[in-house]
Amino acid sequence: MEALNHFSYVTGLSANSEKSSLYMAVMDDDAKANLLSKTGFSEGRFPMKYLGLPLSPKKWSKLDCHQLRVKVTEKIRAVSSRHLSYVGKLQVINAILFSLHNFWGAMFILPESILKDVDKKCREFLRGSNEETKKVSLVAWEKLCKPKKEGGLNIRSCRKWNLALVGKLIWMLITNKEVLWVRWVHGIYMKPDEEFWSHVPSGNCSWYWRNIHKVKLGMQQWYSTDRYVLTTSGVYSVSQSYLSLIEHREIKDCHELIWSKMLSPKHRFILWLAAQNRLLTKDRMLGMGIECEIADCVLCDKEELENPQHLFVECVWSQAVWNELMQWLGLAVPQQDLKRPLRWVKKKKWCRMMKEVLVAVHGAVIYFTWQARNGRIFRKRNESPSVTVQQIKFIVKERIGMFIGSK
């Protein structure tokens, strides 16, 4: 009570006995009763909540993390995925859902089952699935979690991001030894001058301390003589640690053009899907065992199986759109396959602005061709190439104006 009274004297603040609880361990009933009578506080029970997080001296169970699962579910239900594009859903996942996991994951090593469940809910939200309707996943979740330059969407894997967040606690244990909680850990669990990497936790220590040492083995290569080496400053970076944890693939060709800011966000996304042959064209549907009443291209009179090569390159409808736009730009761009214009632009020694304008036109052609195809199949609407050309011209001019205005 002396410390509380001194704090009250200095600050003018006093503890509210109705809102304060006393947490005690390894004490007999008489000692507990004596403390409670002197303080006037009630006896606290674990698990308790602090800043919205459950705290417990025991190992976490699925039930303890149930609140995280509930909050993610509530956020998903609050946002109707039916009225959002893929780009909008991606923004929701990165901005809202992941912030919840970020708050929890920075403090705790979360159970594997909970992390898988959060990943599953984000995955189903992105593709528009729910309890009543299950939709086909266009791209594997593992691939979506890759960086954009490797063909992904830069969605963070919950498990690996959790490890990268916890890695900051390990960095503080190694470098910031004057921080109060770090001093406490070193005083309780470790011998003086004992190295963190060689320390072996005892069998009767905290379950969380044992878990910290389980995950530290995969992080030792991030340090050289106890200095963090993934950044030049030596300051810990969650992002750099996360990139070190994920398995890297080869860098995709023309990725920087596909994600050019000159393109409308929804155009970027459809161009990204088309470049990876992941749009649900008729040939892919047949390959997945999905029945199609008509497998031929609906935009032209040719009896050709609808596949990306035909739909975006060989189809008379898309050729008419592309040719008129090339006359407008005064260019002759090769069209052997869907990615050929991107490769051609990349090799040109043009200024960045000119390259991005042509990519914006190419992305718009892919997007509006896909829209025209869907319009004929699902809404029985026939969009003419000339009308589509006017739409593309308007959007490209608008994007150029926005791009110049932001300079």
User: Model confidence at 43, in pLDDT bands (50, 70, 90)?
Assistant: confident
Confidence grade of residue 194 (pLDDT, cut at 50, 70, 90): confident
Question: What is the token pair recorded at 356?
Answer: 């991005």
Indicate the pLDDT class of residue 82, thresholds 50, 70 and 90: low
Per-residue pLDDT for 406 more than 70?
A: no
| Chain center to CA of 270 | 19
CA distance 304 to 295: 8
Is the pLDDT score of 218 beyond 60?
yes
| Res 109: pLDDT | 84
Q: Provide the angle, in degrees to the nearest 10, between the axes of the packed helices 158-175 and 238-245.
A: 120
* Least confident segment among 55-64, 107-116, 389-398: 55-64
Top-confidence residue, 67 or 81: 67
Instruction: Share the mean pLDDT of the chain.
Output: 87
Please give the single-letter amino acid code of residue 52: G
Of 51, 146, 61, the residue nearest 106 (C-alpha): 51
Q: pLDDT tens digits, residue range 354-394? A: 999 999 999 999 999 999 999 999 988 999 999 999 999 99
pLDDT tens digits for range 303-352: 899 999 999 999 999 999 999 999 999 999 998 899 999 999 999 999 98
Confidence class for position 23, pLDDT limits 50, 70, 90 = confident
The predicted pLDDT at position 362 comes to: 96
Q: Which two tokens stand for residue 60?
A: 């976490």
Identify which has the larger pLDDT, 248 or 376: 376
Domain ranges of the chain: 2-45, 161-245, 255-405
What whole-number distance in Å separates Cα of residue 210 and Cα of residue 50? Answer: 22
- One DSSP character per residue, 1-41 reads -HHHHHHHHHHS----TTT-EE---S--HHHHHHHHHHH-P
Give phi and psi for 196, each to the nearest 5.
-65, -40
Pair 43, 24: CB distance under 8 Å: yes
| Residue 279 clears pLDDT 80, i.e. is over it | yes
Q: Which residue type does 183 have? A: R
Which pLDDT score is estimated for 360? Answer: 95
- Provide mean pLDDT across the span 228-240: 93
pTM: 0.80
Peptide bond before 111: cis, by omega within 30 degrees of 0?
no
Single-letter residue type at 295: A
Q: Are 282 and 310 in contact (CB under 8 A)?
A: no
Is the peptide bond preceding residue 334 cis, with omega within 30 degrees of 0? no
How far is Cα 365 from Cα 263, in angstroms, rounded to an integer? Answer: 11
Indicate the pLDDT class of residue 272, thresholds 50, 70 and 90.
very high
pLDDT at 14 over 60: yes
pLDDT higher than 60, residue 106: yes
Q: What pLDDT was estimated at residue 81?
A: 60
CA pair distance 269, 302, nearest whole angstrom: 28
> How much is the pLDDT for 156?
85
Which carries the bigger pLDDT value, residue 55 or residue 289?
289
pLDDT band, very low/low/confident/very high, at 283 (cuts 50, 70, 90) = very high
